[in-house]
């Protein structure tokens, strides 16, 4: 099936395989083509029009994200025509977008990819079009905020919700200039099928879908720390965004890089308040004869636990003990837990909360 | 994502039956069909006939109705307090100013019924003739076999009558040559180009001719299912076809023919938006390639034809391709020209393809007043000055002038018309009907609407700065044909009538 051939990209011969898009080949060859509506996890939409290129024999410019390569195809990614197209297209985007004092797309904290692309294109300055695009200001869900003034209608969020999560809580709604991202009856996300995975936030290129809790904290002021989510044993990778020594946001690494392929669940993405919670346990404690908990060392704590468990075994037998592991543990940790149960204490009473 | 076995194709019809989109109707339909609630909501809110519940009169604001006093009618209704909605062209330009009652039945304007030429069997469509349920052309085509029919269609030079003028035989062969055996014929009866009402007349006067043409196409490309996607506002036309289908029963037995209603979206006249709509989705055009002939309805090869194109087929089968071809002047065959605006007898006239404006208007009883401009092919073709009245009204000649024959909805404007206002109405039409999918059209159409509106109010030509750039980008960068032509009314008016766009005060 996979025919190999060459195409010409800006006059250069490049290897290509049938089924690939122009964007696939360009990406491999290091040829930069701007995109906004493209997400490798989604079917190409070709809707944002930023990636239009010229293909010899095609009367119209074609979207690189969707156009499939053919043997001998000649593609041009830079020409006067493409430059004019980008200049006016970005001008239109800017006329339909919230701008900051510099006349470039605003950032509400998240990265706005339109900002850099528009600056590079020398976008035409047009008066604001004042599209009647509504948001859902009354949506009381605790996590996800939709900012219609930053939305470019690329539909990555709705397509992600449908194609990746199979949840379809949000949809393109209305028509023409009024088109927006909506829900049934404009209800809040908590009253829809939304699972609050927040994937819409990660895929949004402009920050129109953004996180309520960290709203307004500038991305340049955040440090990024790659870590492993500890809510379950899958091992999703997370990028902790740290501001003034506190985790203020959790993002997924980009698709294609880690086991979770750009996805996270509601817990991994939003349930990070425990990290800095004042009641969080940071060291072992042992209840003393006074009935109060007292700080202890790990050695003391483990010794105390061992004594207690061995005492039960001696008095009632090994099967009086039971070991319950957590789905927050990794596979390796679960293995050690059952080994502890069976080899060290001699009982098969071993369970894990996700085993049912 | 749909549940397994979800019945998405039903949701728009169900929304219509429920009286429109409400959270309750959407939740119920989602539950019954297995389509996610949000998708039912988003699809329903796309279509103007179902997006909101409630009974109301719909007043046409198309160019011909505006010329005939639609604005006055709207003001009257406003005073009466009757619920009303201003809607895009409803395809009754010859009965302007037109409206629809709350049941979508026509409230015609002052004009009488549409004019057509008297019975003339030498005309392929012959709107004035009888419409017998004979189906002899179908029998003849079936006897001749697909290869022979394809040859006849090719020899006829028949070009698609929906607007693009694509050679019919190329499409037929493209579908016939697919490896996939499951194929469809879809009839595009979603006539909506402002100034156009020819398909409506065919469906009302010659329904058998249309059904026969579609059946010949289906037999030739080995499709058994024929779907007629008919404009929701065309109640009379649909009744006419339903009656004809009953009368024809025996002849059309091998074919599964059904109707699908449009729900109020001009864009669904675009073939891929139509397919999306048939599949129960928002009418947002698909990217091409792939073309419907390869990947159409339900992803299967699909032959999509405009009503008029299909209605030409029986004549071609009866009389041979050459006879049809030779009827034309600068292109093949006859063409149904819709004439409205400032002419004495608005109507549909079947004349040789390539007739010039004066001859056409003479057939339509002559000009009313002193003509100043004309649109040769509906809103999409922009405005041309009378100095171009000698152009053959065909696909090629108008294309060369940066205009188009399109659906041949000819609208004549005399010198009583404020051309800026006319350009403004047409520009608003495209902004109202843009699907919103791609930025050049969604934002560009709104930009043009604002620019033209501001110039109309202030008379300051600065409001029109960058109209040319934006128009260029809409033509170059939009996904579909709507975006490509949406700037035409304004840019053509500015080009041909520069005086109207100078500083006004």
Q: What is the pLDDT of residues B169-187, one digit of tens each?
A: 999 999 999 999 999 999 9
Distance CA A185, CA B22 (A): 7
- pLDDT, position B89: 87
Average pLDDT over residues B44-57: 93
User: Residue ranges of the domains in chain A?
Assistant: 4-78, 222-279, 285-352
pLDDT tier for residue B112 given thresholds of 50, 70 and 90: low
- For residue A267, give the H/E element and its range: helix A266-270
Q: What is the pLDDT of residues B194-243, one digit of tens each?
A: 889 999 999 999 999 999 999 999 999 999 999 999 999 999 999 999 99
Distance CA A195, CA A164 (A): 13
**Interface subset of A 252-291, CB within 8 angstroms of B:** none
Partners of residue B42 in chain A, C-beta under 8 Å: 158, 171-173, 182
Task: Chain B: give the shortest CA distance to residue A87, in Å.
Answer: 9
By the CB < 8 Å criterion, does A60 face chain B? yes
- Does the pLDDT at position B144 exceed 60? yes
- Does the pLDDT at position A1 exceed 70? no
pLDDT tier for residue B69 given thresholds of 50, 70 and 90: confident
Distance CA B302, CA B186 (A): 7
**A131 with B446: Cβ contact below 8 A:** yes
**Cα-based distances in Å from B370 to A329, B294, B356, B413:** 86, 49, 17, 9
Q: What is the pLDDT of residues B76-87, one digit of tens each?
A: 878 888 888 889
Distance CA B474, CA A89 (A): 9
Contact status, residue B126 vs residue B327, Cβ threshold 8 Å: no
Q: What is the pLDDT of residues A149-171, one digit of tens each?
A: 999 999 999 999 999 999 999 99
> Which of A173, A193, A195, A205 to probe by mutation at the B interface, max B CB count within 10 Å?
A173
- For residue B285, give the H/E element and its range: none
Instruction: Compute CA A133 distance to the chain's CA centroid, rounded to the nearest angstrom.
Output: 25
Of A126, A170, A184, the CB nearest to B26: A184
Of A95, A127, A172, the CB nearest to B282: A172
Name the CATH architecture for the domain at A222-279. Answer: Single Sheet (2.20)
- Does the pLDDT at position A354 exceed 80? no
**B436 with A176: Cβ contact below 8 A:** yes
- Report ipTM (2 d.p.): 0.93
A4-78, what's its fold?
Answer: Ubiquitin-like (UB roll) (3.10.20)
- % pLDDT > 90, chain B: 80
* Residue A283 CB-density burial (10 A; 0-12 exposed, 13-18 middle, 19+ buried): exposed
| Nearest chain B alpha carbon to A167 | B1
Distance CA A254, CA A265 (A): 15
Delineate the domains of chain B, giving CATH numbers in brackets: 57-107 (3.40.30.10), 136-326 (3.40.50.11540), 334-412 (3.10.20.600), 419-501 (1.20.1440.230)
DSSP A143-188: SEEE-GGG-----HHHHIIIIIT-----EEES-GGG-EEE-GGG--
- Does the pLDDT at position B297 exceed 90? yes
Indicate the average pLDDT of chain B: 93
- pLDDT, position A183: 96
pLDDT tier for residue B67 given thresholds of 50, 70 and 90: confident
- Does the pLDDT at position A355 exceed 80? no
- pLDDT, position A230: 85
Contact status, residue A189 vs residue A139, Cβ threshold 8 Å: yes
**B440 with A89: Cβ contact below 8 A:** yes
Of B431, B439, B466, the CB nearest to A126: B466
End-to-end CA distance of chain B: give it in Å, rounded. 56
- Does the pLDDT at position B505 exceed 70? no
**A174 with B434: Cβ contact below 8 A:** no
Average pLDDT over residues A283-289: 94
DSSP B444-475: HHHHHHHHHHHHHHH--GGGGTTHHHHHHHHH
Q: What is the pLDDT of residues A222-271, one digit of tens each?
A: 999 999 998 887 889 999 999 999 999 999 999 988 999 999 999 999 99
- pLDDT, position A233: 77
- pLDDT, position A165: 94
pLDDT tier for residue B309 given thresholds of 50, 70 and 90: very high
Partners of residue B29 in chain A, C-beta under 8 Å: none
Partners of residue B30 in chain A, C-beta under 8 Å: 184
């Amino acid at each position: 099936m996979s025919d190999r051939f060459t195409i010409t990209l800006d006059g250069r011969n490049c290897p290509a395989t049938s089924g690939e898009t122009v964007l696939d080949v360009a990406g491999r060859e290091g040829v930069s083509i701007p995109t906004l509506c493209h997400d490798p996890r989604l079917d190409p939409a070709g809707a944002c029009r930023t990636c239009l290129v010229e293909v010899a024999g095609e009367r119209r410019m074609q979207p690189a994200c969707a156009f499939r390569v053919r043997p001998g195809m000649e593609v041009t990614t830079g020409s006067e025509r493409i430059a004019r197209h980008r200049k006016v297209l970005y001008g239109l985007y800017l006329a339909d977008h919230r701008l900051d004092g510099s006349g470039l797309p605003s950032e509400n904290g998240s990265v706005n990819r339109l900002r850099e692309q528009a600056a590079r294109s020398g976008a035409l300055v047009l008066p604001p079009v004042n599209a009647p695009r509504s948001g859902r200001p009354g949506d009381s869900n605790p996590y996800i905020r939709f900012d219609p003034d930053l939305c470019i209608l690329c539909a990555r969020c709705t397509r992600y919700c449908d194609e990746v999560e199979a949840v379809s809580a949000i949809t393109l709604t209305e028509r023409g200039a009024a088109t927006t991202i909506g829900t049934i009856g404009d209800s809040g996300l908590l009253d829809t099928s939304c699972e609050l995975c927040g994937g819409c936030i990660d895929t949004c290129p402009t920050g129109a879908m953004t996180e309520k809790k960290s709203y307004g904290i500038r991305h340049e002021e955040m440090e990024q720390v790659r870590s492993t989510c500890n809510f379950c044993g899958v091992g999703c990778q997370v990028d902790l965004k740290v501001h003034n020594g506190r985790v203020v946001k959790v993002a997924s690494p980009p698709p294609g890089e880690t086991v979770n392929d750009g996805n996270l669940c509601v817990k991994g993405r939003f349930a990070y308040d425990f990290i800095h919670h004042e009641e969080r346990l940071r060291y072992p404690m042992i209840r003393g004869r006074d009935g109060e908990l007292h700080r202890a060392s790990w050695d003391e704590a483990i010794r105390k636990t061992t004594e207690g468990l061995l005492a039960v075994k001696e008095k009632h037998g090994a099967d009086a003990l039971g070991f319950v592991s957590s789905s927050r543990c990794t596979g390796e940790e679960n293995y050690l837990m059952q080994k502890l149960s069976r080899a060290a204490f001699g009982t098969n009473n071993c369970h894990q909360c996700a085993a049912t | 994502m749909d549940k397994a076995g979800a019945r998405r194709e039903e949701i728009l019809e169900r929304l219509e039956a429920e009286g429109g989109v409400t959270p309750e109707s959407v939740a119920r339909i989602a539950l019954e069909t297995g389509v996610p609630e949000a998708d039912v909501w988003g699809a329903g809110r796309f279509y103007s006939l179902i997006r909101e519940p409630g009974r109301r009169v719909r007043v046409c604001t198309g160019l011909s109705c505006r010329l005939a006093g639609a604005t006055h009618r709207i003001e009257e209704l406003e005073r009466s307090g009757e619920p009303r909605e201003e809607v895009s062209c409803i395809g009754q330009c010859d009965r302007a100013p037109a409206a629809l009652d709350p049941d979508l039945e026509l409230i015609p304007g002052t004009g009488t019924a549409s004019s057509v030429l008297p019975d003339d069997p030498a005309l392929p469509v012959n709107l004035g003739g009888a419409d017998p349920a004979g189906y002899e052309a179908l029998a003849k085509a079936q006897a001749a076999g697909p290869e022979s029919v394809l040859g006849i269609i090719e020899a006829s030079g028949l070009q698609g009558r929906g607007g693009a003028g694509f050679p019919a035989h190329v499409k037929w062969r493209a579908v016939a040559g697919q490896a996939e055996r499951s194929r469809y014929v879809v009839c595009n009866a979603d006539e909506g180009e402002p100034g156009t009402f020819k398909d409506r007349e065919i469906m009302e006067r010659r329904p058998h001719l249309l059904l026969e043409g579609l059946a010949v196409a289906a037999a030739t490309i080995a499709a058994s299912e024929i779907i007629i996607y008919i404009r929701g506002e065309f109640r009379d036309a649909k009744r006419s076809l339903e009656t004809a289908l009953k009368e024809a029963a025996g002849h059309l037995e091998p074919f599964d023919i059904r109707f699908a209603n449009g729900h109020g979206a001009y864009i669904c006249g675009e073939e891929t938006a139509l397919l999306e709509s048939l599949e129960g989705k928002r009418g947002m055009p698909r990217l091409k390639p792939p073309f419907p002939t390869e990947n159409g309805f339900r992803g299967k090869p699909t032959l999509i034809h405009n009503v008029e194109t299909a209605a030409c087929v029986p004549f071609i089968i009866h009389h041979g391709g050459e006879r049809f071809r030779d009827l034309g002047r600068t292109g093949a065959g006859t063409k149904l020209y819709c004439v409205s605006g400032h002419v004495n007898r608005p109507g549909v006239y079947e004349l040789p393809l390539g007739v010039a404006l004066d001859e056409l208007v003479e057939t339509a009883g002559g000009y009313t007043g002193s003509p100043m401009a004309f649109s040769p092919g509906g809103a999409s073709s922009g405005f041309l000055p009378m100095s171009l009245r000698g152009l053959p009204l065909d696909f090629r000649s108008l294309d060369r002038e940066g205009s188009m024959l399109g659906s041949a909805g000819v609208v004549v404007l005399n010198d009583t018309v404020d051309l800026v206002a006319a350009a403004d109405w047409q520009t608003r039409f495209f902004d109202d009907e843009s699907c919103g999918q791609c930025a050049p059209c969604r934002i560009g159409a709104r930009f043009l609407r604002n620019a033209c509106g501001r110039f109309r109010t202030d008379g300051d030509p600065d409001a029109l700065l960058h109209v040319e750039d934006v128009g260029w980008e809409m033509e170059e960068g939009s996904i579909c044909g709507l975006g490509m032509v949406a700037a035409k009314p304004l840019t053509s008016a500015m080009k041909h009538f520069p005086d109207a766009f100078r500083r006004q005060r």
